[in-house]
Amino acid sequence: MRSFSRLEDLPVTLPVFPLTGAVLLPRGQLPLNVFEPRYLAMVDAALAGTRFIGMIQPVEHEDTVLAPELSKVGCAGRITNFRETDDNRYLITLTGICRFRIAEELAIDTPFRQLRPDYTLYLGDLVEESADHFPRDRLLGALKAYLTQHDLKADWKAVTNAPPETLVNALAMLCPFEPAEKQALVEARNWQERVDTLVALLEMASTPAPGNHSVN
């Protein structure tokens, strides 16, 4: 995959895919099933250009208004896998490159929304951070309690062997947290803050609600 290490490597305009509950993080991989005509057009345009798409959560659910207000921070991803299905859908994988703040939404006559991203605060995303102080044991303990509390399963061998950033990205993107909680993970200032936020979310979601204690 092509390397992106400088601000100059990033696109100055970005088509965006507003999707509640779907977030992308640097070096994370997000599979998407694209079927709406406006987003099929967006993928066509991306493939014909930089291959970049911005994932961002709307503040309002996209099913309730035509052009919902967008969160302030999203993540630019590059299409790294693409397949067209027999029923005219696109199955793509976005690999996260760098987060951005919205500098300006562009008044452009396309079926999909476009904006001018400001990457300034997040250029550190272009360099993988050290995981020397990764609290793997605490994270795994919180994850095990979370899975038990919510009756979920995971490939524990894959979880325990995953590299730190791969594991954190996968959990942040795949766990069924609330949209605001997922946004907090996107907006974490750095790797350590994201890890701390993830552990806190898992621990809070694993705590039984008051009054839910069993009585023998």
Give the Cα separation of 69 and 39 in Å (integer): 18
160 and 105 in a common domain: no
Contact between 67 and 25 under an 8 Å Cβ cutoff? The reply is no
Helix, strand, coil share of the chain (percent; to 5): 35, 25, 40
Confirm whether 197 is domain-assigned: yes
Confirm whether 216 is domain-assigned: no
User: What confidence category does residue 63 fall into, taking pLDDT thresholds of 50, 70 and 90?
Assistant: confident
Q: Which range (39-43, 52-56, 65-69, 156-160) has the least confidence?
A: 65-69
115 and 145 in a common domain: no
* Domain end residue (candidates: 126, 157, 180): 126
141 and 117 in a common domain: no
Q: Whole-prediction pTM value?
A: 0.90
160 and 88 in a common domain: no
For the segment 180-190, the average pLDDT, to the nearest whole number, is 95
User: What confidence category does residue 173 fall into, taking pLDDT thresholds of 50, 70 and 90?
Assistant: very high
Could you report the per-residue pLDDT of 91-138, keeping only the tens digit for each?
999 999 999 999 999 998 999 999 999 999 999 999 987 777 899 999
CATH code for position 13: 2.30.130.40
* Higher per-residue confidence, 211 vs 16: 16
154 and 112 in a common domain: no
159 and 190 in a common domain: yes
Specify the number of domains making up the chain. Answer: 2
Task: Enumerate the H helices of the chain as residue ranges.
Answer: 37-48, 136-149, 156-161, 164-174, 179-187, 191-206
Token pair of 46, please?
Answer: 């991306």
88 and 44 in a common domain: yes
> If you average pLDDT over every residue of the chain, what do you get?
92
Token pair 């594991």: residue: 167
